[in-house]
Structures are given as C-alpha cells and as structure tokens.
C-alpha cells in the first residue's frame, strides 16, 4: 500500500470515530429527562410532626362537635396507604390492645398524614401511647426509621394524656348537658311534670 493510501485509510478511520462520538453527544443532549435513569430512593421516611403533641397533657376528649380527638402523624414524604393503615395504632399506656382497629386509620396524601379516628371516647385522665411501626413504607418501599443514628429500624412512639375534667365547650356540645341547662329554671315539681309529659304517649 502506498503512503498516500495509508494516509487516506487513517483519515477515514479518524473521521468515522469522530462522527460516532458526535452522534453520541447529540443523542445524550436530546434525550428527555424522564428517559434517563433517576437516582434510586434509598432514604428512610420519618414522622416529622404529631397531634396531639408529644407529651401533651389535658388533651380534650372531643376535638370538635361529636368528633372524638383524633391522633395524627405527619410524614417526611408520601407513603403507601396500605402500610400506614397497618402500622399506626394507639394504646392505653401499659396495654398491648389498640384502642381502635387498623381500619380506623385514614391517609391524606396531600398532607402526607395518617389520621386515626377513635371509635369511642378516650378515658379521662388516661395516658395513651401512639405508635407508627417500621412496617410503614414510602412509595419506593423504604421502611420507616425514626432514628437514623441508631442501629436497625426505629418506630415512632409518643405519649399524651387526656383531660381530667370535661371542658365547657365539650359539655355544651353534649345534648344531655343542653337539656339539663334548659331545665335549671324549673322547680322540682315542674321538672317532674315536664318529664312525665315527655314520656306520656300521644293520645289517639
């Protein structure tokens, strides 16, 4: 092969390599962001806020008219609703029996919050323990780890104590309290007559 032919072949190979590199650069620049592989989510979620507050005392039995005080856990990221429902429970301190079954837990994705609504009124003056176990998972499947500085996965646990005496606002929302208030101006005989009238069957 002549020297000119060798130079021509070398130039052809170099141009082909340059063209291939240029095509690779152009393809990478025009590849949509969604088509590129995202970094894997390996960070464990945490509970970042709670209601009632941790260590709260004198928590009202009724949160609003005819609604018992709810227990809420706010997460650091969006969670899998099914796993939250299974992992969030409230216990009377010293007991292993939840005060409400797991189906009493709802999940608000917009607020990233799990909400437990008791089926019956909490006991006055009693301290309760709320627990979000490590079975709760984020959308990537990472399980809850409340304390990342400790070995192993850690649950979120906090305590709160209910009020000893019924608040005035709660009493006013109680129909029996309203009835008693309305009867305060009556003397004993009038109260008996009123009670008899309420229980007397309608005449036909």
Which tens digit of pLDDT belongs to each residue from 101-119? 655 789 999 999 999 988 8
Confidence at residue 180, expressed as pLDDT on a 0 to 100 scale: 42
- Give the span between the Cα atoms of 198 and 104, in whole angstroms: 38
Q: Is residue 73 part of a domain?
A: yes
What CATH code is carried by the domain that includes residue 162?
2.60.40.1220
Instruction: Report residue 129: phi and psi, to 5°.
Output: -115, 125
Query: Strands (DSSP E) along the chain, which ranges?
Result: 47-51, 56-59, 62-64, 67-68, 71-75, 88-92, 105-108, 113-116, 127-132, 156-162
In which residue are the tokens 């509970």 written? 47
pLDDT in tens, 143-190: 999 998 999 999 999 999 999 987 554 455 554 444 444 544 555 555
pLDDT at 133 over 90: yes
Q: Is residue 10 part of a domain?
A: no
**What's the average model confidence in pLDDT over 85-104?**
84
In terms of pTM, does the model score above 0.75? no
Q: Which domain holds residue 146?
A: 47-167
Q: Is residue 146 part of a domain?
A: yes
Count of domains for the chain: 1
Q: Is residue 185 part of a domain?
A: no
Q: Is residue 33 part of a domain?
A: no
pLDDT in tens, 22-52: 656 555 665 554 445 567 888 999 999 999 9
Q: Is residue 161 part of a domain?
A: yes
DSSP SS3 for 1: coil
Q: Which of 8-12, 59-63, 132-136 has the lowest mean pLDDT?
A: 8-12
Q: Is residue 150 part of a domain?
A: yes
Burial classification of residue 75, based on how many CB atoms lie within 10 Å of its CB (0-12 exposed, 13-18 middle, 19 or more buried): buried
- Give the span between the Cα atoms of 48 and 15, in whole angstroms: 58
Tokens encoding 36: 């590129």
Rounded alpha-carbon distances, angstroms, from residue 193 to 158, 175, 178, 187, 199: 52, 20, 19, 10, 10
**What's the average model confidence in pLDDT over 193-203?**
51
As beta bridge partners, residue 62 has 68
Query: Strands (DSSP E) along 120-194, which ranges?
Result: 127-132, 156-162
Dihedral class, residue 7 (left if φ above 0, else alpha if ψ from -120 to 50, else beta): alpha
């Amino acid at each position: 092969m002549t020297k000119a032919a060798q130079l021509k072949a070398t130039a052809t190979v170099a141009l082909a390599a340059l063209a291939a590199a240029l095509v690779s650069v152009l393809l990478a620049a025009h590849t949509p962001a969604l088509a590129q592989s995202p970094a894997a989510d390996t960070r464990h979620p945490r509970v970042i806020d709670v209601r009632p507050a941790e260590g709260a005392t004198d928590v009202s039995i009724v949160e609003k008219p005819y609604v018992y005080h709810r227990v809420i856990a706010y997460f650091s990221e969006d969670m899998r609703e099914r796993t939250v429902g299974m992992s969030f429970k409230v216990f009377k301190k010293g007991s292993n029996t939840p005060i409400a079954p797991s189906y009493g837990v709802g999940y608000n994705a917009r607020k990233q919050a799990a909400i437990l609504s008791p089926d019956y009124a909490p006991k006055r003056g009693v301290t309760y323990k709320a627990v979000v176990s490590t079975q709760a998972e984020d959308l990537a499947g990472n399980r809850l780890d409340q304390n990342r500085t400790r070995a192993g996965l850690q649950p979120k646990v906090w305590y709160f104590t209910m009020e000893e005496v019924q608040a005035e606002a709660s009493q006013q929302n109680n129909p029996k309290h309203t009835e008693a208030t309305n009867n305060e101006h009556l003397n004993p005989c009038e109260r008996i007559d009123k009670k008899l009238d309420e229980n007397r069957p309608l005449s036909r």
